[in-house]
């Protein structure tokens, strides 16, 4: 009976790994879905949704190079400054690396801050991690794009 034990353990391990495997197409779709949810949350000032979808270690590097953490981003959203009339991602590309993913694309924003109107496009890179049964945004970097003339 002993010689069968290592084979049984190997088969059990392969079965467990296969059961934990996720479908890449579903992961891509889920990440893009959550990206859209996050855009709506920023647009609507929905800090609760952001709290649920952002990783506790979340950092944002903005177009000026400033790095902010989750608490700072939530405070800005709760304060509603900036106030967004549009916040949407487009042209996204998702690359999966097991329990991590990188999304690149363009974010278009319009709104006001301190009473001044703004409109801009940003090239972004988002880093996602799969934790506790779901995808969480762990880091984001945005670079302002020059206006096309």
Per-residue pLDDT of the chain (149 residues; tens, 9 = 90+): 455 555 544 544 444 443 357 899 999 999 999 999 999 999 999 999 999 999 999 999 999 999 999 999 999 999 999 999 999 999 999 999 999 999 999 999 999 999 899 999 999 999 999 999 999 999 999 999 998 76
Domains held by the chain: number: 1
**Cβ neighbours of residue 87 under 8 Å, at least 6 residues apart?**
39, 40, 42, 43, 107, 108, 109, 111
Instruction: Give me the pLDDT at residue 6, please.
Output: 55
12 falls within a domain:
no
Helices (H) and strands (E) in the chain, counts: 4, 6
Separation CA 114–CA 63 (nearest Å): 18
CATH of the domain at 56: 3.10.450.50
Residue 149 has a pLDDT of 61
Q: What is the pTM of this model?
A: 0.83
Identify whether 59 is part of a domain.
yes
Measured on CA atoms in the order 25, 31, 35, 41, is the torsion positive or negative? Answer: positive
Q: Which residue has the tokens 């902010």?
A: 68
Domain with 121, as residue range(s), is 22-144
């Amino acid at each position: 009976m002993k010689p069968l034990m290592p084979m049984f353990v190997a088969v059990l391990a392969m079965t467990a790994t296969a059961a934990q495997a996720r479908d890449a197409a579903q992961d891509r779709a889920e990440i893009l879905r959550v990206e859209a949810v996050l855009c709506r949350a920023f647009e609507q000032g929905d800090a609760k949704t952001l709290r649920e979808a952002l990783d506790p270690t979340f950092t944002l590097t903005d177009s000026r190079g400033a790095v902010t953490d989750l608490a700072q981003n939530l405070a800005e959203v709760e304060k509603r400054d900036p106030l967004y009339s549009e916040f949407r991602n487009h042209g996204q590309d998702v690359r999966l690396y097991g329990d991590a993913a990188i999304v690149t694309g363009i974010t278009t924003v319009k709104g006001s801050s301190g009473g001044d109107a703004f409109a801009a496009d940003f090239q972004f890179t988002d880093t996602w991690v799969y934790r506790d049964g779901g995808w969480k945004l762990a880091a984001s970097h945005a670079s302002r794009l020059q206006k096309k003339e």
